[in-house]
A and B are shown apart, each in its own frame.
Chain A
Amino acid sequence: MGIYEVSLATIVLINIILALGLNMITGFCGQISLGHAAFYGIGAYCTAILAKAGFPPAVTLLCGLILAGASGVVVGLASLRVREDFLAITTMGVGFLFLGIVRQQEALGGELGISSIPSAGMSKIGFMLFVLVLAALAAAFSLFIKRSWMGFAFDAVADDEDTARVLGLDVAAYKLSAFAMGTAMAGLAGGLYTYFARFIVPDDFGFITSITVLSMVAVGGIGSVFGVMAATVVLTLMPEFFRFISDYKLLVYGALLFTVMRFAPGGLAGFLQTALRIRKARGETG
């Protein structure tokens, strides 16, 4: 594995953690978010500042995760009153708000961002393996939640929150938990990105990033852990192999998002399930 491949693998794994975080909010709990990159950015900036202040990765990453999760709860609280398209607009606003604030702060480097961030103290391969372990944990955590009664309750909220409430579910508490867990995962991904790039600028955490992550979740199949991981791999590598995609990222991902929502709302996972069902049905009749 050359250095280029190791870098690609690392960024794919970071994106997997980021996308699984959004999958927790949008996939499991049904709450759309167009501002996921803001929490990715909060984790990244928090980690960068603490790393430059001399704290070790274990501390900086944990702080990034906690700060992003706490911000997620605050945004979640503000979003409890809005649903669906209004929630989309609100979270999009949060994304722009984050960018607006970061760009104006001298302490955060303004437009120039933060550079010469110390390394995590591992070799490139070592760091990739470290991220691999964390991505595996994120996937295991997602599967754990999906199979618990919490996942069941998320299904109910995603499906029909009024009915869930009438059936005795504290809908607000579940939405806030989804926001807290999903944005904390984004914060962790942000911290890892900081150690990976060692140079961050506000644009790394802009609207395009939010849309890219949402595409990963939607293309993978909303709520499907393995579908989202597969889509993240494909969508992260695609711009590397086809350079024009990275020039027209927003256009390509926007079109992709629209196509999936319109023609295959179940994403890759839904598509595979349908295909398997048809094959099984054919097998039974034939």
Chain B
Amino acid sequence: MTAILKVSGVTVRFGGIHALDDVSFEVTPGEFVSMIGPNGAGKTTLIRAITGVVQPQSAEIRLSGREISNLPTHKRSRLGLVMTHQIVRPFHSMSVLENVIFAAGHGRIQSVFGAMVSFDLSRERDRAMKLLGLLGIAEMADKSVRGQPLGVIKRMEVARALALEPKLLLLDEPLAGLNHIEAARLADTVADINRRGTTIVMIEHNLGEVLRVSERLVVLDNGRKIADGNPNEVMRNPAVRAAYVGKDETDAAA
């Protein structure tokens, strides 16, 4: 099957620091890939480079075969490449529902002149309500985003990303900051979204949930890809164990 996303040779330097060094990987349609690695490994930088928020020094990024590394972020998003941020970024002046309606209206706001003469929200409102239902937060729809617990906002952001009808959804630590019950519920929801046909790449530190729900692991350490494959095999890989627990400790344990 052809890759929905093919990333080759991504190198990002911030000043003298190599944040990413020649990283390549592929995602096939329908997959649920989790990306793990210690803090500072370059996971967030990688998905930011994929969405164009960060400009890599060199990279080839293909979405369904189309080279997109010269496109601005909003155009990549229109092609179906959508990410959620690690730190929640809701529109604070809007309600939970309005946040999602805005994303559902991505077709209406594509052209400035089109947006100027369109007023109807009903179709977008229906779609947004369905998505909030899917994420289990329909009852919060009309509440202001301000003062909502993190769990609700994280779910709202996933709904908002889905409203853009992504081909590929990039989630940056969706479970961070949630307690283990909330985290397990959201992980199940994400797995359910994947079963409904959305390809997902998820950065996550919560290894328990990652191993429970994902089909494939990509491991980064120090800006390099050190492993890629079946979760159980990857976790048995000595390089991965070393990156996680530190070399000395594994030696000591062995």
Contacts and interface: CB of A to CB of B under 8 A. Distances in A.
A156 B83 CA distance: 17
Contacts of B101: 152
B91 A153 contact: no
Of A168, A169, A174, the most chain B CB neighbours within 10 A belong to A168
B51 A149 contact: no
State the majority secondary structure of interface residues on A: helix
Q: How large is the interface on A (under 10, 10 to 19, 20 to 34, 35 or more residues)?
A: 20 to 34
Contact of A153 (B51, B89, B109): B109
Interface stretch (B6-14, B113-121, B125-133, B210-218): B113-121
A160 B89 contact: yes
A167 interface: yes
A145 B118 CA distance: 10
A165 B71 CA distance: 13
B102 A167 contact: yes
A145 B94 contact: no
A177 interface: yes
A149 B108 contact: yes
B124 to A, nearest CB: 9
A106 to B, nearest CB: 40
Given A149-B119, A159-B91, A174 B112 contact: yes
Contacts of B53: 162, 166
B73 interface: yes
Given A152-B105, A152-B109, A169 B74 contact: yes
Given A148-B118, A150-B115, A168 B51 contact: no
Contacts of A163: 85, 89-91
Contacts of B119: 147-149
A23 B97 CA distance: 26
A237 interface: no
Contacts of B83: 166
30 contacts: A145-B116, A147-B119, A148-B116, A148-B119, A149-B105, A149-B108, A149-B115, A149-B118, A150-B115, A152-B109, A152-B115, A155-B91, A155-B94, A155-B102, A159-B91, A163-B85, A165-B74, A166-B51, A166-B53, A166-B74, A166-B77, A167-B106, A168-B106, A168-B109, A168-B110, A168-B164, A169-B74, A169-B109, A170-B110, A177-B112
Given A149-B114, A150-B115, A168-B78, 13 more contacts: A148-B118, A148-B119, A149-B115, A155-B102, A160-B89, A162-B53, A166-B73, A167-B102, A167-B103, A167-B160, A168-B109, A168-B164, A170-B110
